[in-house]
Copies of this chain bind each other. A is one copy, B any other.
Amino acid sequence: MENQQVLIERLPSGKLQAEDYRLADAPMPEAGAGQVLIKTLAFAITAGTRAGLQGSASYAGAPSAGRVMNGSGVGEVVASNAPNIAVGDRVTAATGWQQYAAMDAEHVTVIDPAHDPIHYLGPMGVNGLTAYFGLLDVSNPQAGETVMVSAAAGSVGHMVGQMAKIRGCEVVGVCGSDDKGRLLVEQLGFDRSVNYKDANYRQNLKEATPNGVDVYFDNTGGMILGSALFRMNVGGRISCCGVVSQYDTNTPEPGPKGVPGLLVNNRLTMRGFLLFDYAERYAEAREDIYSWLNSGQLTSLQDEVVGLAAAPNAFVDLLSGGNVGTRIVRLDQ
């Protein structure tokens, strides 16, 4: 029995293409000492992993040609050499894009059997936790403030907006199509949405934020960050979460005008963050998120494809804005 994988064929030059990946069969891995063997049920595709393909990452195991593509997955333990994890447990871990993964137990989180494991790829996983800490901890919006979020229909963005509503804020989402915008308002309770591809985007943003913007959650950088800077109120905060506008290219734009001039004039704070700095507080966050899911205050949008072979195209499509909510690849094994 073999282990089907999606390997990085080459680091992309310019825009990512499906041909930058290839399917391959590897020998079935075995659980070593202190390890578990996980059969992958599904994994999430997230824009942030595109940054790791730019070849500048230098940590051990950084993406490179010949490696299995990295990503967060959920699965079932089929063999265990770890005392606290049993065969049959559902777990979440950085399985990567493959059918089976042998992983050190310390990097594996057992999922409460009461929970749908797919939630650990969305609201209870990396995306939901990123929204939670990046919004509530980094920029701490207050009731009545206006919160703007970019890539608002994306895996992180659609949860940021809903969490801001739970906090009692006015919420404006920026996304790349009118259909997505309608969905944010009609299904998720956003107050307004703005399509950044519209020729009148800047004027529309102005009209959608009549009281200015107090907190901007930035998933994109680039032009949308620039437009937000000009709408920020005195004392405004910007959570810098990601730079999706700059990932899929070899020629990143310069930073937006207004940095640092507008930061000074309006006493703005821009703060970058990475989720793993909050690892000690994941459990606390998951309690909140789980209660919001149960009460119906938080809706998780998913967008699924099936089979490892579909993953490369699903990633290319996501980078051009094709997804709504969390893009998940379910394995048909």
Contact = CB atoms under 8 A, between A and B. Distances in A.
Contact of A277 (B243, B263, B267, B273): B267
B252 A255 contact: no
Contacts of A246: 261
Given A269-B270, A270-B269, A255 B260 contact: yes
Q: Which 3 pairs between the two chains have the least Cβ-Cβ distance?
A: A255-B255, A263-B272, A255-B259
Nearest to A225: B260
27 contacts: A51-B261, A221-B260, A240-B260, A240-B264, A241-B264, A243-B260, A243-B261, A243-B264, A252-B257, A253-B254, A254-B254, A254-B256, A254-B257, A255-B256, A255-B257, A259-B259, A263-B270, A263-B272, A264-B273, A264-B274, A265-B274, A267-B273, A267-B274, A267-B277, A269-B271, A269-B272, A270-B271
Interface string A228-266: 000000000010111100100000111111111111111
A294 to B, nearest CB: 32
A268 interface: yes
Contacts of A260: 218, 221, 225, 238, 240, 243, 255, 270, 272
A274 B260 CA distance: 13
What's the number of copies of this chain in the assembled complex?
Answer: 2
Given A263-B272, A264-B272, 10 more contacts: A240-B263, A241-B264, A255-B256, A259-B259, A260-B272, A264-B273, A264-B274, A267-B273, A268-B272, A270-B270
Contacts of A256: 254-255, 259
A331 to B, nearest CB: 30
A260 B51 CA distance: 13
**Most B C-beta atoms less than 10 A away, residue of A256, A264, A268:** A264
**Most B C-beta atoms less than 10 A away, residue of A238, A258, A267:** A267
Contacts of A240: 260, 263-264
Interface in A265-316: 265-274, 277
Contacts of A267: 271-274, 277
Contacts of A254: 253-257
Contacts of A255: 254-260
A46 to B, nearest CB: 14
A256 B252 CA distance: 11
A289 B310 CA distance: 65
A191 B217 CA distance: 38
Contact of A268 (B225, B242, B265, B271): B271
A48 to B, nearest CB: 9
Nearest to A263: B272
A262 B242 CA distance: 10
Nearest to A252: B257
A263 B274 contact: no
A137 to B, nearest CB: 12
Contacts of A270: 259-260, 263, 269-271
Contacts of A266: 272
